[in-house]
Structure 1
Amino acid sequence: MEDLLLLIHRIPYPPNKGDKIRSYHLLKHLAQHYRVHLATFVDDPDDWQHVPTVQAMCTSSHFGKLAPLAGRVRSLGGLVAGRSLSFDYYRNSAMQHWVDQTMQANAIGRVMVFSSPMAQYAEKYPQARRVVDFCDVDSDKWRQYAEKKPWPMSWLYRHEANALLAYERHVAKTCNASLFVSAPEADLFRKLAPESDARIGYFNNGVDTDFFSPERDYPSPYQAGERALVFTGAMDYWPNIDAVQWFATEVFPRLLAAQPKLRFFIVGARPAPAVLALGQQTGVVVTGTVPDVRPYIHHGEIAVAPLRIARGIQNKVLEAMAMGRPVVVSPQALEGIEAKPGTDLVLADGAEQFITTLSSMLAQPQDNARLGAAARATVQTHYSWPSKLARIEERLECS
């Protein structure tokens, strides 16, 4: 086996946590083919318990403590200097020192970067073959934020969109390959960084269909008689916050008026104050962190993904499909997913379509089983992790 340096912005564990699924499976796959030297950050105190598990998968590892407040203070320096805030948020001298020592001690010739701000730690090693998994075009996400927010946040987000895009283009131009989570995401970056067109590709997320299986026995988290619409995701993430606020305000009240037993369950860790406030609304339940999202999905009547801001493939949609549940998505949430609207899931655009679609599905629940079965079959066919990750090795081993 050859040595490989793997740079990941947040500890890639636990494997069923939405924002860590892709990085966990990347680490697991690479550890089967290389001696992996991992450098990553821990920004949640609860995640330190996972360090021994991740260490066991690696030849060597370094876990940097990333305090969000300190990171934001560092970002201010980047703002003054005209750099990306994300770049300075993840800048850490101890991390760079460990990377330098590890690269030299092991004569490492391959570097895998997960998330563009981590590419700064590999910039000193152009002789190594460097592959970057950008996942999403993060700079475009900040551009979308700027369009949704009033001044001065709109100005700040626009600065980050422009500065981060400049850095993304630099990374793509100087590294051997740049990968994204879907073909549409890769196509978008080709338009933004045409000079790197030949080195841009993608690999889709996969789904662990054994873990997300409708065949397991899950205790119901709902009260008798409740009919649950369920949304899952990290609830401190702005696109998720925006989605549930919009749905709870513009869609759910009209559904509840016709279906008094209906409940909108918002399931996910770290709910922001704006999300917690929704829990005061009749019929809306904010769970916060739960030990397992699968019972909520399995016993939920319909999974909803009404995102208005989105980048890349939505794991929440794939997981609900894998669980054999009917899913209603916005166009933004459907982007990059190989599924046929009307056959594998249902597409709704805007409040009126969501209301009409969900009202019809709630009135005819017997039809939802067919939709759920087709959804799971599609995920089993198209979203195997090993088949998706094979593209990584192709890029790492190209001469």
Structure 2
Amino acid sequence: MGDILFLTHRVPWPPNRGDKIRAHHILRKLMQYAPVHLACFADDEKETIEDSVVKTGLASVEIVRRTKSNMQAGIEAIISGKPVSLTSFDSDKIRKYVTDTIKTYNIDCIFVFSGQMAQYIPANFSGRVIMDFADVDSAKFESYADEGAGPMAWVNRREGKMLGAFERQVAERADYSLFVSQAEAQLFRQRSGLDDQKVKAVGNGIDLDFYDPNKAIATELESGGPLIIFTGQMDYRPNIEAVISFSKEVMPDILKQHPDAKFAIVGRAPTADVARLDGQYGTIVIGSVDDIRCWLKAADIVVAPLRIARGIQNKVLEAMAMGKAVVASSAAAQGIEAVDGHHFQVAASPAEEAKRVCELLSDPQNAKTLGDNAAALIRETYSWDHRLADIACLCGLDEPERLEAAE
């Protein structure tokens, strides 16, 4: 077996957001079997120089700072007739690195994480190609278009159509296309016409050692009362829409029964729209924190009120691993192998979210039982080793050939 070339749209360390978490653990798994070369983008200068045990174990690495503005990417997309998702991540440096790496090393497999990076698969590459789409991104943009109006609706409709065509083209080229859940995989099979021999589900896992409630000290708020929290990257549109909806539509009903309840929004880069929620309807905007586990440990209820969601929500799995009662929207619960009412609570509307949260706040023992059941489920079936058990085989790697250095 030769080397692996791993392409991903973000630096896969530290594993502190959904896409980086999945890429990080897959990369670490592959490094156990073969030398891996990595090409990726950095969102800021810090990421280009940040050290990591994973980074030092790579055969070679190319990290390119992404500086292209959304406006520039949009103009390039219109001129070139490509999706914005591709022009945003277009780089001559990455393209040269891919070409040089394939010429210099014996690359048997290219593993592509996220559709934006599939544009770097050389047309003449004869080795194995594994495409991890994670989610059906084109369907997300179609949802944005259906819910929007005006110029942005046109932009999102164009993106959904063009990205969908590109996804199908890439999947036909790849040996396997991977998705985070059976629901996403089945949706793509329907859209692409490909069968389950080429389109497979490889679910997300949880770092069970890290998300151990016994290893965290709960954050303390100055004001008492029940604490409801939401975690996530707060410049990501689905997360923004989720917290705005929960704060304005759900919290007023909760406050009628629990007037001292607080809703904490915990996550990096809150936008101006998110920041304006601070102080309204018991909402507190926390922003970035050093250790998310401290907030999860302190929470009475964790909510995931996403109105648009694709694939598996890591935020839900993390809260469940910490033994917390979770109230999730129907969209956020998709793909999670858990039972409504036993492992978590699923709510079909903002009104039902308020009802479920209030019931749990009024019955702490039921909330504790729900959290205990959730933690047991995650520890039984959601370890990364369990979830990635087949990844080496899909890449053409044999178990006996595992590198000694990774043992």
TM-score by length of 1: 0.96
Displacement after TM superposition at 1:117 (Å): 1.3
* Identity, % of aligned positions: 39
5+ residue gaps, structure 1: none
Q: Is the 8 A contact 2:251 2:281 kept in 1?
A: no
> What residue number does 2:318 align with?
319
> What residue number does 1:393 align with?
392
Moved more, 354-363 or 93-102: 354-363
Moved more, 284-293 or 16-25: 16-25
- Aligned ranges 1:1-399 → 2 under 5 Å: 2-51=2-51, 53-69=53-69, 72-195=71-194, 198-397=197-396
Which of the pair has the greater relative contact order for Cα pairs under 8 Å at 6+ separation?
2
> What residue number does 2:402 align with?
none
5+ residue gaps, structure 2: 399-407
What secondary structure, in the 3-state scheme, does the structure 1 residue paired with 2:369 have? helix
**Deviation digits for residues 50-84 of structure 1 (CA, Å, limit 9, x no counterpart):** 24544213110000110141x64133212233211
Read off the aligned partner of 2:339 and give its amino acid letter. K
Moved more, 192-201 or 236-245: 192-201
Displacement after TM superposition at 1:234 (Å): 0.4
Displacement after TM superposition at 1:359 (Å): 1.3
TM-score by length of 2: 0.94
Q: Is the 8 A contact 1:75 1:86 kept in 2?
A: no
Q: Is the 8 A contact 2:48 2:65 kept in 1?
A: no
| C-alpha distance in structure 2 between counterparts of 1:52 and 1:370, whole Å | 38
| C-alpha distance in structure 1 between counterparts of 2:29 and 2:36, whole Å | 10
Q: Is the 8 A contact 2:218 2:295 kept in 1?
A: no
Displacement after TM superposition at 1:195 (Å): 4.0
Q: Is the 8 A contact 2:13 2:52 kept in 1?
A: no
Read off the aligned partner of 1:64 and give its amino acid letter. V
**Deviation digits for residues 137-182 of structure 1 (CA, Å, limit 9, x no counterpart):** 0000111111222211000000000000010000001111100000
Displacement after TM superposition at 1:33 (Å): 0.9
What secondary structure, in the 3-state scheme, does the structure 1 residue paired with 2:200 have? strand
Read off the aligned partner of 1:246 and give its amino acid letter. S
| C-alpha distance in structure 2 between counterparts of 1:231 and 1:154, whole Å | 28
Q: Is the 8 A contact 1:6 1:111 kept in 2?
A: yes
**Deviation digits for residues 182-211 of structure 1 (CA, Å, limit 9, x no counterpart):** 000000000100046531101000001111
What secondary structure, in the 3-state scheme, does the structure 2 residue paired with 1:145 have? helix
Displacement after TM superposition at 1:258 (Å): 2.4
**Deviation digits for residues 324-347 of structure 1 (CA, Å, limit 9, x no counterpart):** 000001110110001000100011
What secondary structure, in the 3-state scheme, does the structure 2 residue paired with 1:290 have? coil
Read off the aligned partner of 2:4 and give its amino acid letter. L
Displacement after TM superposition at 1:49 (Å): 4.3
Q: How many equivalent residue pairs?
A: 398
| C-alpha distance in structure 2 between counterparts of 1:64 and 1:287, whole Å | 30
Read off the aligned partner of 1:110 and give its amino acid letter. C
Read off the aligned partner of 1:208 and give its amino acid letter. D
Q: Is the 8 A contact 2:343 2:370 kept in 1?
A: yes
| C-alpha distance in structure 2 between counterparts of 1:122 and 1:249, whole Å | 45
| C-alpha distance in structure 1 between counterparts of 2:397 and 2:78, whole Å | 37
What secondary structure, in the 3-state scheme, does the structure 1 residue paired with 2:388 have? helix
